[in-house]
Structure 1
Amino acid sequence: MNKMQAIIVNEMKVQPEIDVQQTIEAIKHFIKEYVSSHTFIHTLVLGISGGQDSTLVGKLTQLAVNELNASGDKQYKFIAVKLPYGVQKDADEVEQALKFIQPDQIVTVNIKPAVDQSVAALKDAGITLTDFQKGNEKARERMKVQFSIAANTSGIVLGTDHSAENVTGFFTKYGDGAADIAPIFGLNKRQGRQLLQHLAAPPRLYEKTPTADLEDDKPQLPDEEALGVTYNEIDDYLEGKTISEASAQKIEALYVKNAHKRELAYTRFTWPK
C-alpha cells in the first residue's frame, strides 16, 4: 500500500472484512441515536431510485424507525420518495424496492416540470446547459424536493453516499451529495451488497448494473463506464489491496480532483493557505 492509498483508506473508513449483522446493528444504532438526540425530528426522508444504495439505506432506516417506535412514546415516520423525471425506465425496480422496504409513507413527485422550467429559464438568460449539466439539475431538484418534504414534516434527509462513491466524487455537489446524515459511509459497494443479501433483498436490486441515469443522451449509462474503473477495483483499493497501477492512479486522480465535493464551503478562517 502506497502513502496515498493509506491516506485514502484511513479517510474512507472501509474495513477489509465486516461482520454483516454487527454492521447492520451499528448503522441502525447510529440512525436511532441521531434521531433521538434531536427533539425536532419526526420524520426521516429518502429518495428511492430502485438501485442498491437507496434500497439499503431505506431498509435500514425503516428498521431503525420501527425499533424507535416500539421502544418509546414518540412516534417517528419514514417517508420514501419516488422522484421520476417523466417516466422512469426502471420504475418496476423502484416498486420492488418499496415492497422490500415497506416504508411508512410513500410520496411521488415528478421532477420533470421543475427541471425543464429551470433549464428553459437559464436558456432564456443566455445559458444553455449541456446534457451532463442538465443531469446535475435533476440530482439537485431531487434533493431539493426531499429537503422540502423534510421541512414540511419536521424531518431530516438521509443520504446514500458510501465510500466507493465518496472516494471518486461520483455524486452531484449539493445534489445527491447533500443530506443530513449518511448512514452507509464506511462501506464499499460489495459490502453494501452483502448487507442486502443478509436482509433478504430481491437479488435484482443489488445485482443490476449501477447507474446514476442522469443524462438524456446516455440513458442508463453504467457508473463504471462513466468512471473508467470498476467497482471491484475501487472496493479492493479501499480494502487496502493491490490493484493495477493504472486503476490506482485513476482512483487517486478522481479523489484529488473531486476533493471540493467532500468539503463544506470555505470561509476566510478555514481556507488552508
Structure 2
Amino acid sequence: MAEFKKYPKFNAEEDKDKIVAFLKDWFAQNGPTANAVIGISGGKDSSVAAALCVEALGKDRVIGVLMPNGVQSDIDDALKLVNHLGIKYRIVNIGAPYKEMLKALQYTEAPSNNNFHFAVTDALRQNLPPRLRMAALYAVAQGLKEGGRVLNTCNLSEDYVGYATKFGDGAGDVAPLAAYTVTEIRAIGDLLALPAELVHKAPSDGLCGKTDEDNLGFTYAVLDQYIMTGECEDEAVKANIDRRHAINKHKLELMPVVNR
C-alpha cells in the first residue's frame, strides 16, 4: 500500500501567487541577474512554467529553447507559446547530435576479450533525446552573458510514476511545478490565460508517438485523484500505479553517498 502525503487544499490563484513568489525569492538568492532557461515543447508544463517565470522575473529574463529532434510535427505549438509570452527564444535542433550519438553507441571495435554485450534498445532511443535536450539547455544557460538557471518543468503526477527521464527532463536547477498535479497545472494555465489548446493538449512525451495516458494505462485524472486521496476504484489500475511508483523512487531521491 502506498503512503500518501497530505497536500494543502489547492486554490489556483493562491498557488499561482505562491509559485511566483517562490521563483522571485529563489532567483534573488541563486542568480539575481540570471535568466530563466526553459525547454519549450508546446505542452502545458513548459507553457505554465514559462508564464510563471515571466510574471516573476519579467519577459526579458526568460529564454525559451525549442529543441526538435529532426522534424517536430507540433513545433508550431511551441512557437505559439513564445510569441504569446513575448519571450526570446532559440531553436536548437538535436536531430544530428542524436543520430551521431546512436552511431557512436552502435560502433564496435574488432572482437577482443574486452568487448561486452551492449544493445541500443527502444528505451535507450527514447531516453537519449531528453538527455541531449538537457545538455543543450545547460549549454545555453552557460553561454548567456547574464548567466542562466535551467527550469525543471516536471509535475507531481509524472514524477510520482516515473514518467520523466533521469538526467533528462528530470534534471534542472529549480522545479516550480513539482508539487502540483496535471489537473492543478491545467487550472493554473487557465488562470494565466494561456492558449487553451496548449494547456489542454493531450500530454505526450514526443518520443514514441503515443500519449502519456496510452503508455501509462490510466488517465491523469485517475492518477491525480489517487495521489491526493489514496482512492482508486479499479484495483488493476491501483496496482499499476503502485508498481510504477515503487520502481521510480530512485529518481526522486538524492544520489546516495557514503557517510563518513
TM-score by length of 2: 0.90
Tell me what 2:93 maps to.
Answer: 110
Tell me what 1:214 maps to.
Answer: 207
**Deviation for aligned residue 1:241:** 5.1
Does the CA contact (< 8 Å) of 2:205 and 2:212 recur in 1? yes
Does the CA contact (< 8 Å) of 1:46 and 1:146 recur in 2? yes
Structure 2 residue 33 is matched with structure 1 residue 54? no
Does the CA contact (< 8 Å) of 2:4 and 2:228 recur in 1? no
Provide the secondary structure at the position in 1 that maps to 2:36: strand
Q: 2:131 aligns with which of 130, 140, 143?
A: 140
Q: How far apart, CA to CA, are the structure 1 residues paired with 2:221 and 2:49?
A: 21
Tell me what 2:256 maps to.
Answer: 266
Provide the secondary structure at the position in 2 that maps to 1:44: strand
Q: How far apart, CA to CA, are the structure 1 residues paired with 2:24 and 2:182?
A: 23
Structure 2 residues not aligned, in runs of 5+: 109-116
Deviation digits for residues 182-209 of structure 1 (CA, Å, limit 9, x no counterpart): 0011111111111111111111112221
Structure 2 residue 9 is matched with structure 1 residue 9? no
- Aligned in 2, Cα 1:107/1:242: closer, same or farther, shift over 3 Å? same
Tell me what 2:247 maps to.
Answer: 257
Moved more, 236-245 or 205-214: 236-245
Q: 2:228 aligns with which of 215, 227, 239?
A: 239
Q: Percent identity?
A: 29
Q: 1:172 aligns with which of 152, 165, 168?
A: 165
Q: 1:86 aligns with which of 31, 53, 70?
A: 70
User: Once superposed, which parts of structure 1, at least 4 consecutive aligned residues long, lie more than 6 Å away?
Assistant: none
**Deviation for aligned residue 1:238:** 1.6
**Deviation for aligned residue 1:101:** 2.5
Q: 2:218 aligns with which of 200, 225, 229?
A: 229
Does the CA contact (< 8 Å) of 1:49 and 1:82 recur in 2? yes
Structure 2 residue 180 is matched with structure 1 residue 187? yes
Q: How far apart, CA to CA, are the structure 2 residues paired with 1:129 and 1:96?
A: 35
Provide the secondary structure at the position in 2 that maps to 1:9: coil
Deviation digits for residues 68-124 of structure 1 (CA, Å, limit 9, x no counterpart): x9xxxxxx6211000001110111111222222221x20110001111111100101
Q: How far apart, CA to CA, are the structure 1 residues paired with 2:165 and 2:246?
A: 16
Moved more, 36-45 or 143-152: 36-45
Structure 2 residue 187 is matched with structure 1 residue 204? no
Does the CA contact (< 8 Å) of 1:40 and 1:155 recur in 2? no
**Deviation for aligned residue 1:269:** 2.2
Q: How far apart, CA to CA, are the structure 2 residues paired with 1:242 and 1:128?
A: 40
**Deviation for aligned residue 1:33:** 0.4
**Deviation for aligned residue 1:264:** 2.5
